[in-house]
């Protein structure tokens, strides 16, 4: 494939016979709803999980597998885990140690992980390029406050990554113009209790005290949906 300097970035995956899509899938609410919805629009949907060594990942991975089992489909491809270790970068950071995790009173900026989307997208886009998958969907919302989660960032990174490998993988942002409540309503018929959002799990459960658990509870409440999640607190 030839390098593309002006690769278009789609905000909505197209339904194309014979098409394939990879979904950057963490097992959280947004990526789970995105993946389940994509099963209706593509002939092959490949869930990609990027493992980096964060404190919550062992529980998150198990929950991700449970959710995938609940939405089994001939379209759904085998779950694939990519490794991008960051313990040498983040060292004693709370995301590695589990100590001093931002709590339910903290600002959203407190959970920012420097360079996270650079690492996730880089590995996932190269995987797509090498496996002939021409689109990677990311469940980013337009309201995300972080600098590596803006449409401009995704557009620029898509172009740079494709230039680097002579590829043409699109980064799809189907939720970029939706609110969190809009996304939740799209998943109202899914077993969302099998998704996982916590950054300080306790005994395999949501802790109920961290920033992400608070965000999760607000998402269900704002959407007027029953939250069946089991919280430790």
Long-range contacts of 155-158 (CB under 8 A, 24+ apart): 155/9, 157/117, 157/118, 157/121, 157/122, 158/7, 158/9, 158/125
pLDDT in tens, 4-38: 333 344 444 444 434 999 999 999 999 999 999 99
pLDDT in tens, 88-100: 999 999 999 999 9
Q: Considering only CA atoms, which of 143, 110, 138 is closest in space to residue 124?
A: 138
pLDDT band at 225 (very low <50, low <70, confident <90, very high): very high
Residue 141: C-alpha distances to residues 20, 93, 224 (Å) = 22, 25, 19
Residues ≥6 apart with Cβ < 8 Å to 165: 126, 129
Residues ≥6 apart with Cβ < 8 Å to 196: 27, 28, 56, 59, 60, 63, 64, 206
Decide if pLDDT at 1 tops 50: no
Give residue 12's pLDDT: 42
3-state helix, strand, coil in the chain (%, to 5): 40, 15, 50
Edge-to-edge strand ranges of the sheet holding 170-172: 80-83, 44-51, 20-24, 135-137, 170-172
Give residue 10's pLDDT: 47
Residues ≥6 apart with Cβ < 8 Å to 164: none
pLDDT (mean) for 173-190 = 97
Q: Which residue has the higher pLDDT, 51 or 233?
A: 51
Q: Considering only CA atoms, which of 29, 20, 22 is closest in space to residue 178?
A: 29
CA distance 18 to 209: 44
Mean pLDDT score across all residues of the chain: 92
Give residue 124's pLDDT: 98
Superfamily of domain 20-222: HUPs (3.40.50.620)
Give residue 14's pLDDT: 42
Decide if pLDDT at 162 tops 70: yes
pLDDT in tens, 48-66: 999 999 999 999 999 999 9
pLDDT in tens, 197-214: 999 999 999 999 999 999
Give yes or no for a contact between 232 and 205, defined as CB atoms under 8 angstroms apart.
yes
Give residue 141's pLDDT: 93
Give residue 50's pLDDT: 98
């Amino acid at each position: 494939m030839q390098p593309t300097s002006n690769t278009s970035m789609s905000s909505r995956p197209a339904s194309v016979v014979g098409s394939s899509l990879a979904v950057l899938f963490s097992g959280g609410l947004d990526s789970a709803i995105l993946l389940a919805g994509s099963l209706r629009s593509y002939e092959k949907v490949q869930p990609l999980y990027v493992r980096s060594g964060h404190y919550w990942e062992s529980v998150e991975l198990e929950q991700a597998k449970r959710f995938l089992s609940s939405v089994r489909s001939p379209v759904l491809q085998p779950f694939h885990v990519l490794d991008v270790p960051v313990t040498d970068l983040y060292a004693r950071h709370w995301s590695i140690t589990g100590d001093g995790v931002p709590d339910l009173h903290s600002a959203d900026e407190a959970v920012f992980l420097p360079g996270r989307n650079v690492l996730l997208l880089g590995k996932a886009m190269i995987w797509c390029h090498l496996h002939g998958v021409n689109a990677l969907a990311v469940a980013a919302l337009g309201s995300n406050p972080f600098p590596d989660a803006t449409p401009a960032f995704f557009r620029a990174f898509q172009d740079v990554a494709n230039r680097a490998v002579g590829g043409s993988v699109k980064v799809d942002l189907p939720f970029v113009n939706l609110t969190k409540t809009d996304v939740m309503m799209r998943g109202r018929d899914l077993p969302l209790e099998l998704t996982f959002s916590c950054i300080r799990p306790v005994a395999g459960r949501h802790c109920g005290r961290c920033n992400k658990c608070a965000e999760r509870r607000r998402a269900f409440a704002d959407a007027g949906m029953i939250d069946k999640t089991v919280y430790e607190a």
